Structure 1
């Protein structure tokens, strides 16, 4: 159902704090993550060996660990303490520094032009206003560096009447649903549905040049693990993955 949260309450923190350990245990192999979004996003990121990478909205560190084991020097941050604790445990001994920070706020603890890559995997859906975030990502990225992110596909969400509520496609609205696949009680997660133009224009107006846009297809292994969702995702995408470049 669409709705509003009280000012100052992070919808991501509220949701993930309630099922952080279940998420951390299930997401590494859950089909939508392991066989759909994550391969597409990391393919856009490419080889990170020797690079400085920011993992923005790192969650429990699943992608962070992959970056660090790929040879990157990683800084990760998240707004949910329970997820950060899991991330620190997962990445113990690796070249990773974690911080408690909010995507919707200035990243003033990071210096200008600090990173070669910025990764934000399925985190921007919890931020109402994207352009300030894109500007901060631009600021902390070195010239020639890249931003890679994934988020809910605007048209997929628009087709779901739970997501669109009573508004129009052109509006940004807050909505929520109970997620399946993460055990009981099913977590209630809210996020923002927005038009594609808001994403694309927000990038370009922040200085980014879009390099690649991917509407991913599921990995063939998903057909065996989750045939129903494999068939659904083979017909229409659930997520959108974008790579942008700082000139």
Structure 2
């Protein structure tokens, strides 16, 4: 795998176009609005009075949605551009969101603090992701819930490729590798088992795995049939338990 570091990715996101940050949408982009948000909100249930960490919160759209539902929100984001925008929105709206600028992998989390930790489309962007995942679980109260979404490792090919071919092609599935993106540097392909086993090793108990499906009418309206016929994303829910002891 090409050696890409957390610092490389953070630097790339610092150069993310400002108009795209500002124009991301109050509910996120199409797939967040119609696929990821419904799955996340269904898993969370009523969040009034709940403490939630948005780990890798980006420009803060999900923080704002959850704060408006009555949750107490902390957002962690390493990129200067995204962090600055999220902070500016908080200064304008005063929703009570606390933002921290930090790399999830090196951040020292407050332990046993949050009812839920959400990492929405984050872990596949972090080269050194295992410390970040461990920090997310450490931040949870005992029995608290970790929700994270990623590009579906089995079906990562883009929607534009689907429009050309009408199917998703899978290649070199077992090879962990970095894949260049138009914006934000790289994401890292890892097999699905890598993520699931990492959750278990970090002290999480798997509870639910969701492959969100776009409604047919929405898919047709937005020319996005790929997300009706083949899942593009994966949402995983786990709860915190005692971490596994190392074998002697």
TM-score bracket relative to the smaller structure: 0.7 to 0.9
* Structure possessing the higher relative contact order (Cα contacts under 8 Å, 6 or more residues apart): 1
Q: After superposition, what is the alpha-carbon deviation per residue over 1:153-202, rounded to whole angstroms, capped at 9, x for unaligned?
A: 01112799x9xxxx832222111133xxxxxxxx3641001001100000
Instruction: Say whether 1:21 aligns with 2:15.
Output: no
Cα RMSD of the aligned pairs, angstroms, is 2.4
5+ unaligned residues in a row in structure 2: which ranges? 162-170, 242-248
Identify the residue that residue 183 of structure 1 maps to in structure 2.
none
Identify the residue that residue 72 of structure 1 maps to in structure 2.
71
Identify the residue that residue 214 of structure 2 maps to in structure 1.
218
The change in CA–CA distance for 1:61 and 1:188 in structure 2 (over 3 A counts) is closer
Give the counterpart of 2:180 among 167, 176, 180: 176
Name the TM-score, length of structure 2 as normaliser.
0.83
SS at match of 1:143: strand
SS at match of 2:154: helix
Identify the residue that residue 238 of structure 2 maps to in structure 1.
244
Name the TM-score, length of structure 1 as normaliser.
0.83
Identify the residue that residue 197 of structure 2 maps to in structure 1.
201
Q: CA deviation at 1:232?
A: 0.9
CA contact (8 A) 2:105 2:135 kept: no
CA contact (8 A) 1:216 1:241 kept: yes
Paired residues for 1:39-188 under 5 Å? 39-91=38-90, 92-105=93-106, 107-108=107-108, 110-157=109-156, 168-178=172-182, 187=183
5+ unaligned residues in a row in structure 1: which ranges? 179-186
- Distance in 2, matches of 1:148 and 1:20, equals 28
- Distance in 1, matches of 2:158 and 2:16, equals 28
Q: After superposition, what is the alpha-carbon deviation per residue over 1:20-64, rounded to whole angstroms, capped at 9, x for unaligned?
A: 431331344531221122222232222211011111000011000
Work out the number of aligned pairs and report it.
228
The change in CA–CA distance for 1:203 and 1:87 in structure 2 (over 3 A counts) is same
